[in-house]
Amino acid sequence: MAGTTLTLTPDGFRGRVLGKYEVLCRLSTGGMAEIFLAAQKGLAGFRKMVVLKQILPDIRGEEEFVRMFLDEAKVTAAFNHPHIAHVYDLDVADGELFLAMEFVPGATLVEVARACRTAHEPIPIGFSLMAVRDTAVALNYAHAFTDPLGRPSPVVHRDVAEKNIMVTYEGVTKLLDFGIAKSLARAGRTAVGMVKGTSGYMSPEQIMGDPLDARSDLFSLGVVLHECLTGMRLFYAKSAEAMMNAVLSGDVPPPSRVNKQVPPELDAIVLKALAKRREDRYGTTLEFARAIERAVGPRIWHPEQSSELMLRLFSERRDQTRLLLMSGTGDGSSSETQVAQVLARSVEAPEPVPPAPTGLPQISS
C-alpha cells in the first residue's frame, strides 16, 4: 500500500555507534531532533531494539533545545505505563547527547488515516475509540504522576496530536514524544510569549500563553477524536494566525454532521472535551475515558480487532520492518563462546568462603 512501507536502502548512518548502541538506519527527522533505529547488543546473542533520539546538528549548541531535550529525559525516565513509550537511557557519546527509547513497531494515527484514505475506507469508529480512550488513560497517568519517592510530579504533555499516538501491529496504543512536556513543578520556565505545540491542536489557553493543566491535553485529545471520527481536520487554515483564531472563536460542529454513524451521546462527549473554557470540559482525561466507556463501551475495539486492521493496512511495512531488523542481527557465536567460558570457569572454581555478616542492609501534522 502506498505510503506504508519503509525504505530499506542502507544509508550513511548504518553502523554508527552511539555508546552501547549500533545504528541500523535513520527513521525520521523533525524540527528539533532526528530519530534512529538501533540495536543494543550483548553477550550470548542478547539484542534489544531501541529508538535513539538526538538533537539536530545545527541546533545542538542552542541552550533552549538542549534544555528541552534534558527535560524530556527527566520528565519521562520514571514513567512506567503500558500506553506510554518507555525511555531507557540518557547518555552522551563523542560530545553528543542522545535518548534511548522503546522501539514501537506500528504506525501513528496520521499514517492510519492516510492508509484508510488510500484504501477508500473510513477509520473504524471502534479503532478510534480504543486509541483515544487508551491515550486518555496514559495522559491521566502523567497528569497524576508521583515519583518513586512519593512526591507529586504532574506532567502536561502539551503536544497531543495524531502524529504522537501510535498503534502497534498487536493493537496496543502508545503515546509518544514528551519533547515539550512540562512538569508542573517547573512550569515557570517557559519564556513569556513563547507558544509551543502543534497548530490546530493547542487548547485556547495554550494559544494565549496561560498556565496549563490536564484540561489542555484533554482539549487536544478531543481534537484528535473529532478528526478520527470525521476523517477531516477540525481546525484548518492557511496561516498559523488564522488557525489560532479558529480555535479561539470558531464553532465546533458535532462529528455526526460528517459521520452519520456517530451517536448523539458520543457527539456530546466530544463537544464537552472541546469546550472553549476549560471549566466546561471534563476535569481529567480519566473522566473523559470513562465517559466514552459508559456511552459507547460495546463499540470500543479490543486490541485483537485493532491488530487485524493494522496488519491488513501495513502488512508490507511490517514485513519490511522485519527484514530491516534481521539485517541488523549479527553472529552471536563469539559472545556465546565467551559466556560458555565464563560458566566453565565458575564451575571449576573452588567454592568461596562466605564472608562474615556485616549487618548492613527507560491525519498529517
Mind telling me the catalytic residues? 159
| Burial class, 44, CB count within 10 angstroms (exposed 0-12 / middle 13-18 / buried 19+) | middle
Among 159, 180, 130, CA closest to 308: 130
Enter the DSSP assignment of 191.
P
**CA–CA gap between residue 73 and residue 355 (Å, rounded):** 40
Contact, 292 vs 146, CB < 8 A?
Answer: no
Angle (CA) 83-13-335 rounded to 5° is 75
Q: Is residue 38 within 8 Å of residue 26, measured between CB atoms?
A: no
Burial of 357 (0-12, 13-18, 19+ CB in 10 A): exposed
Which residues are bridge partners to 106 per DSSP?
Answer: 168
- Which own/partner pairs from 256-262 qualify as long-range (CB within 8 Å, at least 24 positions apart)? 258/229, 258/230, 258/231, 258/232, 259/122, 259/125, 259/229, 259/230, 259/231, 261/125, 262/125, 262/229
